[in-house]
Amino acid sequence: MEIAYYYDPAEKECPVDAFLEEKVRKCSDLSEERKARIAFDLQKKFEEVLKRQGHPFSGIAEPVKKYSFFKINQKKDENKLIRVFYCCHGDLMVLLYAFEKPRKYDGKKKEKRAESKHYQKAQECYLKFKSDPDRYIIK
């Protein structure tokens, strides 16, 4: 198995790579050390999933209820998590979509609704990929 990034031809980008570029690599609120740590931790999690042929397992990857893809969480800082959605296709682990979320919600429905929009966007990426499984890039 290997890691692939879903590519959206309409946007001319890979959503996960674009997210990581904007919210991690170019984030001025994070130290260079923290950026490197996030990248390292995510890569290690991806490798663990690859070792298990894409199957989710407790502590690293989990299935997403009501969807046909999985999620990986990564701590960004004390208040935020990065969530990466992926699916498996043949010998590929396809990174579909990523977003940033609060580590804890304060019971605010507005924040939860915003998160559900990200799930819908991930579902769109998943369905587009499934309809055209050549929409990926290996980096």
Taking the C-alpha atoms of residue 81 and residue 104, their distance in angstroms, rounded to an integer, is 9
At 123-137, the pLDDT tens digits run: 999 999 999 999 999
pLDDT for 107: 63
Reduce the DSSP state of residue 49 to 3 states and report it: helix
What does pTM read for this prediction? Answer: 0.92
pLDDT at 110 over 70: no
Going by C-beta distance under 8 Å and a sequence separation of 6 or more, which residues neighbour residue 54? 1, 70, 86, 88, 93
